[in-house]
Structure 1
Amino acid sequence: MEKMSNLLTLVGILMASPAQATPLHDAVTQNNLTEVRAIMSSEKRPQLLEMRDELGRTPLQLSVHLNRVEIAKILISHGADVNARDAKQDTPYLLAGAEGRNEILKLTLENGADLKSTNRYGGTALIPAAEKGHLETVRILLKTKIEIDHVNRLGWTALLEAIVLSDGGEIHQKIVQELINAGANVRIPDKDGVTPLQHAQKRNYQKIIEMLKKAGA
Protein backbone atom coordinates (compact mmCIF):
# COMPACT_ATOMS: atom_id res chain seq x y z
CA MET A 1 0.00 0.00 0.00
CA GLU A 2 2.87 2.37 0.82
CA LYS A 3 4.49 1.82 -2.60
CA MET A 4 1.14 2.51 -4.29
CA SER A 5 0.74 5.68 -2.21
CA ASN A 6 4.19 6.88 -3.25
CA LEU A 7 3.39 6.14 -6.89
CA LEU A 8 0.14 8.07 -6.71
CA THR A 9 1.99 10.97 -5.08
CA LEU A 10 4.52 11.01 -7.92
CA VAL A 11 1.80 10.86 -10.55
CA GLY A 12 0.07 13.76 -8.82
CA ILE A 13 3.28 15.79 -8.81
CA LEU A 14 3.91 15.24 -12.50
CA MET A 15 0.31 16.03 -13.43
CA ALA A 16 0.12 19.11 -11.25
CA SER A 17 2.58 21.18 -13.25
CA PRO A 18 4.75 21.09 -16.39
CA ALA A 19 7.82 18.86 -16.08
CA GLN A 20 10.22 21.53 -17.26
CA ALA A 21 12.34 24.24 -15.71
CA THR A 22 10.69 27.63 -15.25
CA PRO A 23 12.30 31.10 -15.22
CA LEU A 24 12.48 30.78 -11.44
CA HIS A 25 14.33 27.47 -11.70
CA ASP A 26 16.73 29.13 -14.14
CA ALA A 27 17.33 32.00 -11.74
CA VAL A 28 18.08 29.52 -8.93
CA THR A 29 20.49 27.58 -11.15
CA GLN A 30 22.29 30.79 -12.11
CA ASN A 31 22.30 31.98 -8.48
CA ASN A 32 20.66 35.17 -9.72
CA LEU A 33 19.35 36.80 -6.56
CA THR A 34 18.16 39.88 -8.41
CA GLU A 35 15.98 37.82 -10.75
CA VAL A 36 14.63 35.69 -7.91
CA ARG A 37 13.62 38.81 -5.99
CA ALA A 38 12.04 40.28 -9.11
CA ILE A 39 9.97 37.15 -9.74
CA MET A 40 8.91 36.98 -6.09
CA SER A 41 7.72 40.57 -6.33
CA SER A 42 5.83 40.02 -9.57
CA GLU A 43 2.40 38.64 -10.36
CA LYS A 44 4.12 35.45 -11.59
CA ARG A 45 5.09 34.42 -8.06
CA PRO A 46 1.99 32.30 -7.20
CA GLN A 47 2.21 30.24 -10.38
CA LEU A 48 5.99 29.74 -10.34
CA LEU A 49 6.75 29.16 -6.65
CA GLU A 50 5.68 25.50 -6.58
CA MET A 51 6.09 24.50 -10.22
CA ARG A 52 8.34 21.53 -11.01
CA ASP A 53 11.31 20.92 -13.26
CA GLU A 54 11.93 17.70 -15.18
CA LEU A 55 13.00 15.97 -11.94
CA GLY A 56 9.88 17.05 -10.10
CA ARG A 57 11.74 19.67 -8.06
CA THR A 58 10.30 22.98 -6.95
CA PRO A 59 12.60 26.02 -7.05
CA LEU A 60 13.16 25.59 -3.31
CA GLN A 61 14.14 21.95 -3.75
CA LEU A 62 16.59 23.00 -6.46
CA SER A 63 18.03 25.67 -4.18
CA VAL A 64 18.66 23.01 -1.52
CA HIS A 65 20.33 20.74 -4.08
CA LEU A 66 22.62 23.59 -5.15
CA ASN A 67 22.99 24.96 -1.60
CA ARG A 68 21.68 28.39 -2.59
CA VAL A 69 21.14 29.61 0.96
CA GLU A 70 20.15 33.21 0.23
CA ILE A 71 17.74 32.14 -2.46
CA ALA A 72 16.22 29.55 -0.16
CA LYS A 73 15.64 32.30 2.42
CA ILE A 74 13.81 34.40 -0.15
CA LEU A 75 11.67 31.51 -1.40
CA ILE A 76 10.73 30.34 2.08
CA SER A 77 9.93 33.89 3.17
CA HIS A 78 7.43 34.01 0.29
CA GLY A 79 5.76 30.77 1.34
CA ALA A 80 7.63 28.04 -0.53
CA ASP A 81 6.59 24.60 0.75
CA VAL A 82 9.40 23.00 2.78
CA ASN A 83 7.55 19.66 2.60
CA ALA A 84 6.96 19.52 -1.17
CA ARG A 85 8.06 16.17 -2.63
CA ASP A 86 10.08 15.68 -5.79
CA ALA A 87 10.20 12.62 -8.06
CA LYS A 88 12.57 10.87 -5.62
CA GLN A 89 10.21 11.51 -2.70
CA ASP A 90 12.61 14.02 -1.15
CA THR A 91 11.41 17.30 0.32
CA PRO A 92 13.47 20.46 0.87
CA TYR A 93 13.62 19.54 4.56
CA LEU A 94 14.61 15.89 4.00
CA LEU A 95 17.18 16.80 1.36
CA ALA A 96 18.72 19.51 3.54
CA GLY A 97 19.12 16.95 6.32
CA ALA A 98 20.55 14.24 4.07
CA GLU A 99 23.03 16.58 2.39
CA GLY A 100 24.07 18.50 5.48
CA ARG A 101 22.72 21.83 4.21
CA ASN A 102 22.52 23.13 7.74
CA GLU A 103 21.58 26.75 7.12
CA ILE A 104 18.69 25.72 4.91
CA LEU A 105 17.79 22.89 7.27
CA LYS A 106 17.33 25.42 10.08
CA LEU A 107 15.10 27.51 7.83
CA THR A 108 12.90 24.51 7.03
CA LEU A 109 12.65 23.61 10.72
CA GLU A 110 11.55 27.17 11.48
CA ASN A 111 8.93 27.04 8.76
CA GLY A 112 6.91 23.90 9.27
CA ALA A 113 9.20 20.99 8.39
CA ASP A 114 7.41 17.69 8.96
CA LEU A 115 9.68 15.80 11.37
CA LYS A 116 7.72 12.59 10.74
CA SER A 117 8.21 12.70 6.98
CA THR A 118 10.37 9.99 5.44
CA ASN A 119 12.39 9.53 2.27
CA ARG A 120 12.06 6.79 -0.33
CA TYR A 121 13.85 4.38 2.02
CA GLY A 122 11.39 5.09 4.79
CA GLY A 123 13.96 7.02 6.77
CA THR A 124 13.70 10.32 8.62
CA ALA A 125 16.17 13.14 7.98
CA LEU A 126 18.26 11.96 10.94
CA ILE A 127 19.12 8.57 9.42
CA PRO A 128 21.00 9.70 6.27
CA ALA A 129 22.57 12.57 8.23
CA ALA A 130 24.04 10.02 10.64
CA GLU A 131 25.12 7.71 7.83
CA LYS A 132 26.84 10.41 5.79
CA GLY A 133 28.76 11.86 8.70
CA HIS A 134 26.99 15.21 8.96
CA LEU A 135 27.79 15.74 12.62
CA GLU A 136 26.39 19.26 12.97
CA THR A 137 23.25 18.22 11.10
CA VAL A 138 22.74 15.37 13.55
CA ARG A 139 23.13 17.81 16.43
CA ILE A 140 20.58 20.18 14.93
CA LEU A 141 18.04 17.41 14.39
CA LEU A 142 18.55 15.96 17.86
CA LYS A 143 17.43 19.29 19.31
CA THR A 144 14.02 18.74 17.71
CA LYS A 145 11.32 16.20 18.52
CA ILE A 146 12.42 13.87 15.72
CA GLU A 147 12.03 10.17 16.48
CA ILE A 148 15.56 9.07 17.31
CA ASP A 149 14.86 5.32 17.09
CA HIS A 150 12.85 5.36 13.86
CA VAL A 151 13.51 2.24 11.77
CA ASN A 152 13.63 2.58 7.98
CA ARG A 153 12.61 -0.01 5.40
CA LEU A 154 16.12 -1.47 5.44
CA GLY A 155 15.62 -2.26 9.11
CA TRP A 156 18.10 0.33 10.35
CA THR A 157 17.96 3.14 12.88
CA ALA A 158 20.20 6.20 12.72
CA LEU A 159 22.52 4.49 15.21
CA LEU A 160 22.76 1.36 13.10
CA GLU A 161 23.50 3.34 9.93
CA ALA A 162 26.19 5.34 11.73
CA ILE A 163 27.91 2.00 12.36
CA VAL A 164 26.99 -0.25 9.44
CA LEU A 165 27.52 2.33 6.68
CA SER A 166 30.55 4.12 8.10
CA ASP A 167 34.27 3.54 8.46
CA GLY A 168 34.07 3.82 12.22
CA GLY A 169 36.23 6.93 12.17
CA GLU A 170 36.26 9.98 14.43
CA ILE A 171 33.26 11.73 12.87
CA HIS A 172 31.01 8.69 13.14
CA GLN A 173 32.29 8.00 16.64
CA LYS A 174 31.10 11.47 17.59
CA ILE A 175 27.76 10.87 15.88
CA VAL A 176 27.29 7.60 17.74
CA GLN A 177 28.03 9.40 21.00
CA GLU A 178 25.58 12.20 20.16
CA LEU A 179 22.87 9.62 19.47
CA ILE A 180 23.61 7.79 22.70
CA ASN A 181 23.61 11.03 24.68
CA ALA A 182 20.23 11.89 23.16
CA GLY A 183 18.77 8.60 24.35
CA ALA A 184 19.07 6.29 21.35
CA ASN A 185 18.21 2.69 22.16
CA VAL A 186 21.51 0.84 21.75
CA ARG A 187 19.82 -2.57 21.75
CA ILE A 188 17.54 -2.24 18.72
CA PRO A 189 18.73 -4.85 16.19
CA ASP A 190 18.47 -4.76 12.42
CA LYS A 191 15.91 -6.88 10.55
CA ASP A 192 18.24 -9.89 10.85
CA GLY A 193 18.50 -9.55 14.60
CA VAL A 194 22.05 -8.14 14.59
CA THR A 195 22.55 -5.47 17.24
CA PRO A 196 24.59 -2.25 16.97
CA LEU A 197 27.22 -3.80 19.28
CA GLN A 198 27.51 -6.92 17.13
CA HIS A 199 27.91 -4.80 14.00
CA ALA A 200 30.63 -2.74 15.69
CA GLN A 201 32.39 -5.88 16.90
CA LYS A 202 32.26 -7.42 13.44
CA ARG A 203 34.01 -4.33 12.06
CA ASN A 204 36.39 -4.01 15.01
CA TYR A 205 35.29 -0.44 15.75
CA GLN A 206 36.85 -0.38 19.21
CA LYS A 207 35.85 3.11 20.33
CA ILE A 208 32.26 2.59 19.22
CA ILE A 209 32.22 -0.78 20.98
CA GLU A 210 33.30 0.96 24.20
CA MET A 211 30.60 3.62 23.82
CA LEU A 212 27.88 1.05 23.23
CA LYS A 213 28.92 -1.12 26.17
CA LYS A 214 29.06 1.89 28.44
CA ALA A 215 25.52 2.74 27.31
CA GLY A 216 24.26 -0.71 28.25
CA ALA A 217 24.54 -2.62 24.95
Structure 2
Amino acid sequence: MRPLLSLCLGLAFQLTQPVAHAQNMTTLALHQAAAGNNSHRIQQLLQNGGASAIDARDAQGRTPLLVATQSNQVAAAKALIEAGADVNAKDNIEDSPYLYAGARGHQEILQMALSHGADLRSTNRYGGTALIPAAERGHVETVRTLINAGVDVNHVNRLGWTALMEAIILSDGGPRHQQILQLLIDAKADVNLADKEGVTPLAHARQRGYSAMVEMLTAAGAR
Protein backbone atom coordinates (compact mmCIF):
# COMPACT_ATOMS: atom_id res chain seq x y z
CA MET A 1 0.00 0.00 0.00
CA ARG A 2 2.82 2.39 0.82
CA PRO A 3 4.37 2.38 -2.68
CA LEU A 4 0.92 2.96 -4.15
CA LEU A 5 0.25 5.82 -1.74
CA SER A 6 3.59 7.42 -2.56
CA LEU A 7 2.86 7.13 -6.26
CA CYS A 8 -0.56 8.78 -5.83
CA LEU A 9 0.88 11.61 -3.77
CA GLY A 10 3.62 12.13 -6.33
CA LEU A 11 1.13 12.31 -9.18
CA ALA A 12 -1.07 14.75 -7.24
CA PHE A 13 1.92 16.99 -6.59
CA GLN A 14 2.91 16.97 -10.25
CA LEU A 15 -0.66 17.81 -11.31
CA THR A 16 -0.87 20.79 -8.94
CA GLN A 17 2.47 22.23 -9.99
CA PRO A 18 1.30 23.68 -13.34
CA VAL A 19 -1.79 25.18 -11.66
CA ALA A 20 0.29 26.87 -8.95
CA HIS A 21 2.74 28.13 -11.55
CA ALA A 22 -0.07 29.59 -13.66
CA GLN A 23 -1.55 31.33 -10.62
CA ASN A 24 1.81 32.81 -9.70
CA MET A 25 2.33 34.07 -13.23
CA THR A 26 -1.12 35.67 -13.25
CA THR A 27 -0.43 37.34 -9.91
CA LEU A 28 2.87 38.70 -11.19
CA ALA A 29 1.25 39.90 -14.40
CA LEU A 30 -1.52 41.70 -12.50
CA HIS A 31 0.99 43.50 -10.29
CA GLN A 32 3.05 44.50 -13.30
CA ALA A 33 -0.01 45.75 -15.18
CA ALA A 34 -1.09 47.74 -12.11
CA ALA A 35 2.33 49.35 -11.77
CA GLY A 36 2.30 50.22 -15.48
CA ASN A 37 -1.26 51.60 -15.45
CA ASN A 38 -2.24 49.07 -18.09
CA SER A 39 -5.97 48.81 -17.54
CA HIS A 40 -6.53 46.86 -20.77
CA ARG A 41 -4.07 44.18 -19.65
CA ILE A 42 -5.72 44.01 -16.23
CA GLN A 43 -9.14 43.46 -17.77
CA GLN A 44 -7.70 40.84 -20.10
CA LEU A 45 -6.08 38.94 -17.24
CA LEU A 46 -9.21 39.05 -15.09
CA GLN A 47 -11.40 37.83 -17.95
CA ASN A 48 -9.03 34.96 -18.75
CA GLY A 49 -9.17 33.19 -15.43
CA GLY A 50 -7.31 35.68 -13.27
CA ALA A 51 -10.26 36.88 -11.19
CA SER A 52 -9.18 34.73 -8.24
CA ALA A 53 -5.87 36.62 -8.13
CA ILE A 54 -7.39 40.09 -7.98
CA ASP A 55 -6.35 40.51 -4.33
CA ALA A 56 -3.25 38.31 -4.47
CA ARG A 57 -0.23 39.62 -2.56
CA ASP A 58 3.36 40.29 -3.52
CA ALA A 59 6.34 39.91 -1.17
CA GLN A 60 5.37 43.14 0.62
CA GLY A 61 1.80 41.96 1.07
CA ARG A 62 0.51 44.42 -1.53
CA THR A 63 -2.46 43.69 -3.75
CA PRO A 64 -2.44 44.89 -7.37
CA LEU A 65 -4.76 47.71 -6.33
CA LEU A 66 -2.36 48.93 -3.66
CA VAL A 67 0.49 48.82 -6.19
CA ALA A 68 -1.59 50.98 -8.54
CA THR A 69 -2.56 53.34 -5.72
CA GLN A 70 1.00 53.88 -4.57
CA SER A 71 1.91 55.22 -8.03
CA ASN A 72 -1.45 57.01 -8.43
CA GLN A 73 -2.23 54.91 -11.50
CA VAL A 74 -5.87 55.91 -11.85
CA ALA A 75 -6.83 53.82 -14.90
CA ALA A 76 -5.41 50.65 -13.38
CA ALA A 77 -7.04 51.36 -10.03
CA LYS A 78 -10.39 51.95 -11.74
CA ALA A 79 -10.20 48.65 -13.61
CA LEU A 80 -9.36 46.76 -10.43
CA ILE A 81 -11.93 48.48 -8.21
CA GLU A 82 -14.72 48.03 -10.73
CA ALA A 83 -13.77 44.33 -10.95
CA GLY A 84 -14.20 43.98 -7.19
CA ALA A 85 -10.72 44.55 -5.72
CA ASP A 86 -10.73 45.06 -1.96
CA VAL A 87 -10.06 48.73 -1.19
CA ASN A 88 -9.38 47.85 2.46
CA ALA A 89 -6.82 45.05 1.94
CA LYS A 90 -3.72 45.91 3.99
CA ASP A 91 -0.10 45.11 3.22
CA ASN A 92 2.65 44.10 5.64
CA ILE A 93 2.92 47.62 7.06
CA GLU A 94 -0.87 48.12 7.33
CA ASP A 95 -1.36 50.34 4.30
CA SER A 96 -4.50 49.76 2.25
CA PRO A 97 -5.54 51.36 -1.04
CA TYR A 98 -8.06 53.53 0.80
CA LEU A 99 -5.67 54.58 3.58
CA TYR A 100 -2.80 55.23 1.18
CA ALA A 101 -4.93 57.27 -1.23
CA GLY A 102 -6.13 59.39 1.67
CA ALA A 103 -2.67 59.90 3.14
CA ARG A 104 -1.15 60.86 -0.20
CA GLY A 105 -3.99 62.97 -1.52
CA HIS A 106 -4.73 60.71 -4.50
CA GLN A 107 -8.20 62.15 -4.93
CA GLU A 108 -9.52 60.12 -7.85
CA ILE A 109 -8.58 56.80 -6.32
CA LEU A 110 -9.84 57.94 -2.93
CA GLN A 111 -13.23 58.83 -4.37
CA MET A 112 -13.47 55.42 -6.02
CA ALA A 113 -12.47 53.70 -2.78
CA LEU A 114 -15.10 55.64 -0.83
CA SER A 115 -17.80 54.60 -3.28
CA HIS A 116 -16.70 50.95 -3.15
CA GLY A 117 -16.78 50.10 0.53
CA ALA A 118 -13.89 51.98 2.14
CA ASP A 119 -13.83 51.33 5.88
CA LEU A 120 -13.80 54.82 7.40
CA ARG A 121 -12.75 53.41 10.77
CA SER A 122 -9.72 51.53 9.44
CA THR A 123 -6.36 52.70 10.73
CA ASN A 124 -2.74 52.67 9.63
CA ARG A 125 0.30 51.40 11.53
CA TYR A 126 0.26 54.53 13.69
CA GLY A 127 -3.33 53.92 14.68
CA GLY A 128 -4.54 56.85 12.61
CA THR A 129 -7.42 57.17 10.18
CA ALA A 130 -6.88 58.40 6.62
CA LEU A 131 -7.83 61.90 7.77
CA ILE A 132 -4.86 62.34 10.11
CA PRO A 133 -1.98 62.04 7.58
CA ALA A 134 -4.06 63.95 5.03
CA ALA A 135 -4.26 66.84 7.49
CA GLU A 136 -0.55 66.59 8.32
CA ARG A 137 0.51 66.67 4.65
CA GLY A 138 -1.66 69.61 3.70
CA HIS A 139 -4.07 67.84 1.34
CA VAL A 140 -6.93 70.33 1.61
CA GLU A 141 -9.40 68.68 -0.78
CA THR A 142 -8.66 65.26 0.63
CA VAL A 143 -9.40 66.48 4.14
CA ARG A 144 -12.65 67.99 2.89
CA THR A 145 -13.56 64.75 1.15
CA LEU A 146 -12.86 62.58 4.19
CA ILE A 147 -14.75 64.90 6.53
CA ASN A 148 -17.74 64.84 4.19
CA ALA A 149 -17.49 61.04 4.00
CA GLY A 150 -17.89 60.87 7.77
CA VAL A 151 -14.42 60.07 9.11
CA ASP A 152 -14.21 60.77 12.85
CA VAL A 153 -12.54 64.17 13.21
CA ASN A 154 -11.62 63.49 16.84
CA HIS A 155 -9.94 60.12 16.36
CA VAL A 156 -6.69 59.93 18.34
CA ASN A 157 -3.74 57.93 16.99
CA ARG A 158 -1.07 56.09 18.97
CA LEU A 159 0.98 59.27 19.25
CA GLY A 160 -1.93 60.89 21.06
CA TRP A 161 -2.72 63.26 18.18
CA THR A 162 -5.88 64.08 16.26
CA ALA A 163 -6.02 65.40 12.70
CA LEU A 164 -6.34 68.92 14.13
CA MET A 165 -3.27 68.44 16.30
CA GLU A 166 -1.18 67.11 13.40
CA ALA A 167 -2.29 70.03 11.22
CA ILE A 168 -0.51 72.21 13.78
CA ILE A 169 2.40 70.16 15.12
CA LEU A 170 3.59 68.67 11.82
CA SER A 171 2.91 71.65 9.56
CA ASP A 172 4.54 74.93 8.62
CA GLY A 173 1.49 76.89 9.76
CA GLY A 174 0.96 78.12 6.21
CA PRO A 175 -2.17 78.71 4.10
CA ARG A 176 -2.92 75.06 3.29
CA HIS A 177 -2.77 73.96 6.90
CA GLN A 178 -4.76 77.00 7.94
CA GLN A 179 -7.49 75.93 5.52
CA ILE A 180 -7.37 72.41 6.94
CA LEU A 181 -7.57 73.72 10.48
CA GLN A 182 -10.66 75.72 9.57
CA LEU A 183 -12.26 72.70 7.88
CA LEU A 184 -11.71 70.67 11.05
CA ILE A 185 -13.05 73.45 13.26
CA ASP A 186 -16.13 73.75 11.05
CA ALA A 187 -16.58 69.98 11.33
CA LYS A 188 -16.75 70.35 15.14
CA ALA A 189 -13.30 68.95 15.91
CA ASP A 190 -12.48 69.35 19.60
CA VAL A 191 -10.13 72.35 19.74
CA ASN A 192 -9.24 71.61 23.37
CA LEU A 193 -8.33 67.95 23.03
CA ALA A 194 -4.78 67.84 24.43
CA ASP A 195 -1.93 65.46 23.57
CA LYS A 196 -0.49 62.80 25.89
CA GLU A 197 1.51 65.44 27.76
CA GLY A 198 -1.56 67.59 28.30
CA VAL A 199 -0.50 70.25 25.78
CA THR A 200 -3.46 71.74 23.92
CA PRO A 201 -3.66 72.65 20.23
CA LEU A 202 -3.66 76.33 21.16
CA ALA A 203 -0.50 75.94 23.22
CA HIS A 204 1.24 74.14 20.35
CA ALA A 205 0.23 76.87 17.90
CA ARG A 206 1.53 79.56 20.25
CA GLN A 207 4.82 77.71 20.81
CA ARG A 208 5.40 77.64 17.05
CA GLY A 209 4.45 81.24 16.47
CA TYR A 210 1.52 80.35 14.20
CA SER A 211 -0.42 83.54 14.83
CA ALA A 212 -3.13 82.89 12.24
CA MET A 213 -3.82 79.49 13.76
CA VAL A 214 -3.86 80.98 17.24
CA GLU A 215 -6.55 83.43 16.13
CA MET A 216 -8.61 80.68 14.49
CA LEU A 217 -8.40 78.43 17.53
CA THR A 218 -9.21 81.24 19.94
CA ALA A 219 -12.23 82.22 17.88
CA ALA A 220 -13.40 78.61 18.06
CA GLY A 221 -13.18 78.58 21.87
CA ALA A 222 -9.76 77.04 22.35
CA ARG A 223 -8.09 77.50 25.72
Q: TM-score, normalised by structure 1?
A: 0.89
Distance 1:96 1:33 in 2: 18
Distance 2:138 2:191 in 1: 19
Task: State the partner residue of 2:38.
Answer: 32
2:17 aligned with 1:51? no
Distance 1:106 1:162 in 2: 22
Task: State the partner residue of 2:91.
Answer: 86
CA RMSD in angstroms, aligned pairs only: 1.4
Amino acid of the residue matched to residue 160 of structure 2?
G
Amino acid of the residue matched to residue 32 of structure 1?
N
Identity of paired residues, percent?
54
* Structure 2 unaligned blocks of 5 or more: 1-22
Distance 1:52 1:206 in 2: 47
Amino acid of the residue matched to residue 120 of structure 1?
R
Contact 1:25–1:59 (Cα < 8 Å) also in 2? yes
Distance 1:212 1:188 in 2: 12
- TM-superposed CA distance for 1:21, in Å, is 6.2
Distance 2:132 2:48 in 1: 39
The structure with the larger Rg is 2
Count of aligned pairs between the two proteins: 199
Structure (1/2) with the larger helix percentage? 2
Distance 2:39 2:193 in 1: 47
- TM-superposed CA distance for 1:34, in Å, is 2.1
Distance 1:192 1:53 in 2: 40
Structure 1 residue runs of 4 or more that deviate by more than 4 Å after TM superposition: none
- TM-superposed CA distance for 1:139, in Å, is 0.4
SS of 2:111's equivalent in the other structure is helix
Task: State the partner residue of 2:204.
Answer: 199
Deviations 1:88-138 (A, max 9, x none): 101111011001011100111101100011000000000000000000000
1:1-217 aligned at under 5 Å gives the runs: 22-46=28-52, 48-217=53-222
SS of 1:42's equivalent in the other structure is helix
Deviations 1:6-30 (A, max 9, x none): xxxxxxxxxxx97x96110011122
Deviations 1:22-61 (A, max 9, x none): 1100111222222112112111221x20111121100000
Contact 1:22–1:51 (Cα < 8 Å) also in 2? no
Q: TM-score, normalised by structure 2?
A: 0.87
Contact 1:21–1:54 (Cα < 8 Å) also in 2? no
Amino acid of the residue matched to residue 168 of structure 1?
G
